[in-house]
Amino acid sequence: MPVRFPYVVLSFVLFSFAAAKAEDPVAEAQAVISGQIAALLRNDAEKAYSFASPSIRSLYPSKDQFLDMVRKSYEPVYHAGNYAFGRSKLIGGGELVLQEVMINAREGKDWTAIYQMRLMDDGSYKVDGVRMIRNTASTGI
């Protein structure tokens, strides 16, 4: 029985879509966040910039501009002390991952960073935004 062209195309399209989806979106997003924080701690602008999404790169077209922005606006992330992953939320089946990161900054203040991680066409995640929230009250032990 001959293979029909439309079935071959449909199979290829379905395979391509499945390949672009992340196997474990939360774990992959967390690995990217950890990689970027590690690069920032080493002051490795090129590596840190490599984790930024195309929309972030359009706002900061060079690694130096990007690193300068992080230094000025995201000091707790730039000089993170200890950090731990908190809650995460998948949107659209993993096309977007919101990841909570609790950070103890070097100056001893606690912060929560909400990372917006976007799934790229190649199946990787990139940082598409970070919202910082200062933790001002203890939640107890």
Q: Could you report the per-residue pLDDT of 113-132, keeping only the tens digit for each? A: 999 999 999 999 999 999 99
d(CA 132, CA 111): 7
Between the alpha carbon of residue 74 and those of residues 11, 15, 24, 35, 66, the distances in Å are 44, 39, 27, 16, 11
Confidence band for 23, pLDDT divided at 50, 70 and 90: confident
Select the more confidently predicted residue: 141 or 47.
Answer: 47
Is residue 10's pLDDT more than 50?
A: no
Enter the pTM of the model.
0.80
Q: Could you report the per-residue pLDDT of 46-86, keeping only the tens digit for each? A: 999 999 999 999 999 999 999 999 999 999 999 888 999 99
Q: Can you read off the two tokens belonging to residue 76?
A: 């707790």
